[in-house]
Structure 1
């Protein structure tokens, strides 16, 4: 693993500048249309009621889950994100939703649960730069889930980037706001730089670790989850060479 980047680097990357434009990048209305009812259907089919939104960002999914009637707890590692999520939740009528800063490696300290489902979206696991932190985070998610609980994670299809077969373009799975442009560049042997552009002037960059599908699948199973399913861009049947995102769905044994 590279020593130049650690799993805490995101704390410096998500400052007021990028967080202040995050809702513009996401494009709440467009993203809602892009996702449709995929995640809500998963929660309903599983019979979940108490949900942990483990990478809430500025609160897009926490609001969506609250709108659907779920008991939501929202956490994020970046204090600026949590502040914006709290404001968004309050503005949309949910000032009582718990929204806290939390370290995935010790979720029980902030959000002990138990939860019926843990949902971690937005390519957030790319901020984990070591196998030890990846394993610790997955164990922590496993710990706060109820027996039989549902775990949902998404991640960019970094296989395509590492294999040199693709560079993600501007209209994509999670950043679909007007004037949003996203590009990925392999900037090191175990590092991908994501560049976000909004309009003609605002440019922000973050570093991510390009976890391959096989690596994440093995780590999820290694943490004790069972029944792993992988969807590509919300589809059960997909071409792994062409999809932009993978969605991993697994369960804690009952």
Structure 2
């Protein structure tokens, strides 16, 4: 499963920052939740090319970015240099092994990263690890897609990302007997007229289940939002954003 996902991210890594450019609303959301960034210790899980981590470090936070994919990390290390910023290869299931207890003021897991874990048991393991490395009162901030909406409405395609250099098509395959959905992508590289196709399984993690797992892991003050602007959750919105506290 990991090999499939790693192959997927390697195949799009050269164009990742063009497909998923820095979203200033992510930075504002973190600032709204944490207040003053200066001196805060932040862990960014699934940091990819390091866009958000760099902005957080520029704002005064001490940031550690982890990702499994070497190609994305190589870009982050090469392009996003800051004295308050560290990148390293890391698995979100091994947080308690890789970091000290109560090390971080906040743990971030954005970009639909969490649902790359293919079972509720693994999600709970990740959440328990995040709680271990958070300081008392520290915050876990998560953004994934809204599978309440995607599954209830059988949303079979996400918006196409079309830029000067690439066209990125994303589709879902649903199976009646599985919590996993097949995430199919076609990346068209316009200059060479080439299409890179992939499929990777994702966990269709719904908000009720996620809330149950967060409570089981010991988190409190769980708040769900429709986006990083903190609009109310509910209805036909693709993002699902949440904050909670240790």
Shorter-normalised TM range: 0.7 to 0.9
Displacement of 1:97 in angstroms is: 2.1
- 8 Å CA contact 1:7–1:129 kept in 2: the answer is no
Q: What stretches of structure 1 move > 6 A for 4+ residues in a row?
A: 45-48
Q: Are the equivalent residues in 1 in contact too, given 2:224–2:243 (CA < 8 A)?
A: yes
Secondary structure at the aligned position of 1:211 is classed as coil
Please say if residues 224 and 232 of structure 2, whose CA atoms lie closer than 8 Å, have aligned partners that are also in contact.
no
Contact 2:54/2:85 (CA < 8 Å) preserved in 1? no
Note if 1:169 corresponds to 2:159: yes
- Aligned residue in 2 for 1:132: 121
Q: Which 5+ residue runs of structure 1 have no aligned equivalent?
A: 1-5
1:12 matched to 2:1: no
For normalisation by structure 1, the TM-score amounts to 0.82
RMSD, matched Cα: 2.5
Question: Aligned with 2:143: secondary structure?
Answer: strand
| Conservation of the 8 A alpha-carbon contact between 2:145 and 2:239 | yes
- Of the three residues 13, 17, 21, the one matched with 2:15 is 21
Deviation of 1:41 after TM superposition, in Å, equals 2.1
Residues 126-178 of structure 1: CA distance to partner in whole angstroms, max 9, x if unpaired? 1000122111111111110011101101110112221235342136xxxx866
**Does residue 158 of the first structure (1) align with residue 153 of the second (2)?**
no
- Structure-2 residue corresponding to 1:245: 239
Size of the aligned set, in residue pairs, is 236
Comparing 153-162 with 178-187, greater Cα deviation is found at: 178-187
- Structure 2 stretches lacking a partner, 5+ long: none
CA distance in 1, matches of 2:128, 2:2: 16
Match of 2:94 among 106, 119, 130: 106
Residues 26, 177 of structure 1: 8 Å contact kept: no
2:55 is the alignment partner of 1:68: no
1:195 maps to: 185
- Cα pair distance change 1:207/1:53, threshold 3 Å: same
Residues 1:196 and 1:82: Cα distance change in structure 2 (over 3 Å) = same
CA–CA separation in structure 2 for the residues paired with 1:148 and 1:230: 18
Q: Of 110, 135, 145, which aligns to 1:146? A: 135
| 3-state DSSP of counterpart to 1:169 | strand
The 3-state SS of whatever aligns with 1:104 is coil
Bigger fraction of residues in strand: 2
Match for residue 168 of structure 2?
181
Higher relative contact order (CA 8 A, sep 6+): 1
Q: Distance in 2 between matches of 1:132 and 1:161?
A: 22
**Larger deviation, residues 74-83 vs 190-199:** 190-199
Q: Residue 43 of structure 1: CA displacement?
A: 2.1
Point out the more displaced range, 187-196 or 70-79: 187-196
Partner Cα distance (1:87, 1:139) in 2: 32
Asked if the contact 1:126–1:155 (Cα under 8 Å) also holds between the matched residues in 2, the reply is yes
